[in-house]
C-alpha cells in the first residue's frame, strides 16, 4: 500500500550513482517541501524500492532500468524523472533532453495521470507534451 504522501518525509529516490545525489543531500539540509523534510534515498537497484517515493530519478547510465522502476512504483503516486531521449514515451513523467544544444523537458501526461499527479498549466506550457 502506498504511504501517505503528505505526512512524514518527502522522499526523493535516485537509482544508482550520479552527481545529483550530493546536490540533493545539500539542499535537503536547508529546504523543505511545505512542512515535510526531504529524505534522499539512493537505490543501488530498482529491487530496493519497497515503498514508492514521491519522486524517483533515473540517471542516463541507469536508463535500462526504467521498466523495472515503473513496475516498482505503480502502486504509488510517484513522479518518475529520466534523462535519455525516448524515455518520456516509454513511461517516465518528465524526461530531460537536449534539443538543438539546449536543455528541454518532455512531459508525459498519460504517465503523470496514471500516477494520479496533477501537472500545472504553467509546467505544461514550458514542456514538450508527449
The separation between the first and the last C-alpha atoms of the chain, rounded to the nearest angstrom, is: 29
The bridge status of strand 102-107 relative to strand 55-58 is unpaired
% of the chain surpassing 70 pLDDT: 95
Is residue 2 pLDDT above 60, yes or no?
no
Residues 81-103: tens digit of each pLDDT: 999 999 999 999 999 998 888 88
Greatest pairwise CA separation for the chain in angstroms: 42
Residues 30-59: tens digit of each pLDDT: 998 888 999 999 999 999 999 899 999 999
Give the neighbor-by-neighbor strand order of the sheet with 79-82: 32-33, 36-43, 10-15, 55-58, 79-82, 94-99, 102-107, 128-129
Hey, where are the domains in the chain?
10-129
pLDDT for 5: 63
Which strand (E) or helix (H) includes residue 80? strand 79-82
Calculate mean pLDDT across residues 66-91. Answer: 95
**Spatial contact of 67 and 89, defined as CB atoms under 8 Å apart:** no
Select 10-129's CATH number: 3.40.50.2300, 1.10.357.10, 3.40.50.720, 3.60.70.12. Answer: 3.40.50.2300
pLDDT for 11: 95
Amino acid at each position: 500500500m502506498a504511504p501517505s504522501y503528505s505526512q512524514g518525509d518527502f522522499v526523493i529516490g535516485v537509482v544508482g550513482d550520479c552527481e545529483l545525489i550530493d546536490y540533493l543531500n545539500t539542499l535537503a539540509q536547508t529546504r523543505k517541501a511545505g512542512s515535510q523534510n526531504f529524505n534522499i534515498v539512493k537505490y543501488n537497484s530498482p529491487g530496493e524500492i519497497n515503498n514508492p517515493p514521491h519522486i524517483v530519478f533515473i540517471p542516463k547510465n541507469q536508463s535500462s532500468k526504467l521498466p523495472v522502476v515503473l513496475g516498482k512504483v505503480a502502486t504509488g503516486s510517484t513522479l518518475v524523472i529520466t534523462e535519455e531521449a525516448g524515455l518520456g514515451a516509454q513511461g517516465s513523467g518528465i524526461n530531460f533532453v537536449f534539443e538543438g544544444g539546449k536543455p528541454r523537458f518532455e512531459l508525459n501526461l498519460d504517465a503523470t495521470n496514471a500516477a494520479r499527479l496533477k501537472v500545472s498549466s504553467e509546467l505544461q506550457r514550458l514542456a514538450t507534451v508527449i
